[in-house]
């Protein structure tokens, strides 16, 4: 498995062009299942999760075409199966998003339960409950969700989410666009990625109002048509690079950034002492002349502080002045990066869903292991801050959500390079000549 080797201690200074949003691209690519004409998606990031989603669409029978400039065209005019298998779903939880589109267009769907992941149990009960409220018969058999609906198709319904769920909102939004009648999604997710999906569905002929608020109203239509949609930039990638510059007391300029998508993160960075300037093409952060101050935060659904930026801010607080608390309210197990940071010298104690952090003057490089996507980003930032070398293992996590991270950081002066790993099945000749398999990391 590949590793990342980071030599820390030098402030970042440079410019980064943001990629398209992973969490907007995934539902938008899957929305292509809703119509028989091609959907063209632009500004698609080059990520492992996107490759997985396209593999799944191809498995279902969609024709997938890559063009040169980050554009993908998906034509779901002639699918040959309505079953999303475990082998693909287990590698990317967002595969659950095919359930709503397949069911509403074809009247049936069979999707493997995604199962839990490192950060939490990640149930999909709200997705299933909403589809049942729209008239679907849904059963769980042998680890698969089996859903079907009568000849009339799904019926519009009033659906109240008792927990704000991003992909739950997206799944039911896609189910509703072809349902009969009006669907009202209440306590809906307000994330910019949900709004981007709604914009794409409207371009395809969907009738949707209220996206971006907690009440989304959908009037079902008979059919959607093809469209061309450009994905928004990735606000979590943006926040990660801003934090990298802030934690290393450097400067960075991000082009393609939409400040409306990152209000609360920018607010927290200002509170931490960062000098921010925003212009129509992007944002610049400068931390070269100010002492970073630790900030308290609590994660929450948008427009609250994003849980996907929690790990990065824990790192920032760990090397800022003063003490702080970071409380995680969205997922039940999203502090695994803390144990690795402690090994690098961070002064952090966990009390339930809160991290109590005392800023230290510096961290020391170490061998660390990534456990999930955003924890791995946090460890890269820790390596940039720490004195000496940090070797990060299991970086397949980071490749799921960050497009060319070592290239973009190197452009800003970071010393970071990828160490190709041994393929899992290869053997390494030992000194005695016998061959041994590398330890499975």
Which chain residues interact with ligand EPZ by CB under 6 A? Answer: 22-23, 26, 94, 120, 122-127, 163, 165-168, 193, 307-308, 330-331, 373-374, 401
Q: What are phi and psi of 229, to 5 degrees?
A: -135, 135
Is residue 224 within 8 Å of 177, Cβ to Cβ?
A: yes
Q: 117 an active-site residue?
A: yes
The nearer residue to ligand EPZ, 170 or 286, going by C-beta atoms, is 170
Displacement of CA 66 from its chain's centroid (Å): 22
- Indicate the SS3 state at residue 347: strand
Q: Nearest distance from residue 6's CB to ligand EPZ, in Å?
A: 21
Q: How far is the C-alpha of 181 from the C-alpha of 315, rounded, in Å?
A: 48
The nearer residue to ligand EPZ, 124 or 357, going by C-beta atoms, is 124
- Indicate the SS3 state at residue 307: helix
Between the alpha carbon of residue 384 and those of residues 153, 368, 400, the distances in Å are 54, 13, 20
Q: How far is the C-alpha of 373 from the C-alpha of 375, rounded, in Å?
A: 6
Residue 241 half-sphere exposure, CB side, CA atoms within 13 Å?
A: 35
- Per-residue exposure over 340-351, b if at least 16 CB sit within 10 Å of its own CB, e if not: bbeebbbebeee
Catalytic residue among 117, 200, 378, 412: 117
Q: Nearest distance from residue 193's CB to ligand EPZ, in Å?
A: 6
Residue 46: CB partners within 8 Å, gap ≥ 6? Answer: 19, 70, 403, 404
The nearer residue to ligand EPZ, 145 or 366, going by C-beta atoms, is 145
Displacement of CA 27 from its chain's centroid (Å): 11
Q: How far is the C-alpha of 13 from the C-alpha of 384, rounded, in Å?
A: 12
The nearer residue to ligand EPZ, 124 or 238, going by C-beta atoms, is 124
Is residue 22 within 8 Å of 45, Cβ to Cβ?
A: yes
The nearer residue to ligand EPZ, 12 or 188, going by C-beta atoms, is 188
The nearer residue to ligand EPZ, 328 or 406, going by C-beta atoms, is 328
Q: Which helix (H) or strand (E) holds 245?
A: helix 235-247
Q: How many degrees, rounded to 5, is the angle at CA 305 between CA 284 and CA 13?
A: 20
The nearer residue to ligand EPZ, 251 or 334, going by C-beta atoms, is 334
- Indicate the SS3 state at residue 315: helix
Q: Nearest distance from residue 267's CB to ligand EPZ, in Å?
A: 18
> CA end-to-end span of the chain, whole Å?
8
Residues catalogued as catalytic: 117
């Amino acid at each position: 498995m590949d590793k990342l080797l980071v030599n820390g201690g030098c402030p970042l200074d440079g410019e980064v062009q943001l990629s398209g949003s992973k969490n907007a691209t995934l539902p938008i690519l899957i929305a292509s299942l809703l119509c028989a004409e091609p959907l063209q998606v632009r500004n698609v990031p080059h990520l492992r999760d996107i490759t997985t989603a396209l593999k799944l669409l191809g498995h279902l029978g969609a024709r997938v075409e890559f063009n040169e400039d980050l554009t993908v065209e998906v034509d779901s005019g002639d699918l040959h199966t309505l079953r999303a298998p475990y082998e693909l779903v287990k590698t990317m939880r967002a595969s659950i998003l095919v359930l709503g589109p397949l069911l509403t267009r074809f009247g049936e769907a069979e999707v493997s339960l995604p199962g839990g992941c490192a950060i939490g149990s990640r149930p999909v009960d709200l997705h299933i409950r909403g589809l049942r409220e729209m008239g679907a018969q849904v059963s769980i058999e042998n680890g698969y969700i089996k859903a079907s609906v009568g000849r009339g198709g799904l019926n519009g319904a009033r659906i109240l989410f008792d927990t704000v769920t991003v992909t739950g909102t997206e799944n039911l939004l896609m189910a509703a666009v072809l349902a009969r009648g009006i669907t009202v999604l209440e306590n809906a997710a307000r994330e910019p990625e949900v709004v981007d999906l709604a914009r794409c569905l409207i371009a395809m002929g969907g009738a949707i109002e209220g996206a971006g608020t907690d009440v989304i109203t959908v009037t079902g239509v008979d059919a959607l048509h093809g469209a061309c949609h450009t994905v928004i930039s990735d606000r979590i990638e943006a926040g990660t690079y801003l934090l990298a510059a802030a934690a290393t007391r450097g400067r960075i300029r991000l082009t393609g950034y939409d400040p409306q998508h990152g209000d609360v993160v920018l607010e927290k960075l200002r509170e931490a002492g960062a000098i921010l300037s925003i212009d129509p093409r992007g944002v610049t952060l400068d931390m070269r002349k100010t002492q970073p101050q630790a900030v308290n935060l609590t994660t929450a659904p948008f427009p609250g502080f994003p849980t996907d930026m929690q790990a990065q801010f824990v790192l920032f607080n760990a090397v800022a002045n003063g003490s702080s608390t970071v409380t995680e309210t969205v997922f039940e197990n999203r502090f695994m990066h803390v144990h690795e940071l402690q090994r690098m010298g961070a002064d952090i104690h966990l009390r339930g869903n809160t991290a109590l952090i005392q800023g230290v003057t510096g961290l020391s490089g170490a061998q660390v292991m990534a456990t999930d996507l955003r924890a791995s980003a946090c460890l890269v930032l820790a390596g940039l801050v720490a004195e000496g070398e940090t070797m990060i293992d299991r970086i397949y996590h980071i490749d799921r959500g960050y497009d060319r991270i070592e290239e973009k950081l190197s452009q800003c002066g970071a010393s970071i390079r990828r160490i190709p790993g041994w393929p899992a099945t290869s053997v390494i000749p030992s000194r005695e000549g016998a061959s041994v398999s590398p330890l499975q990391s």
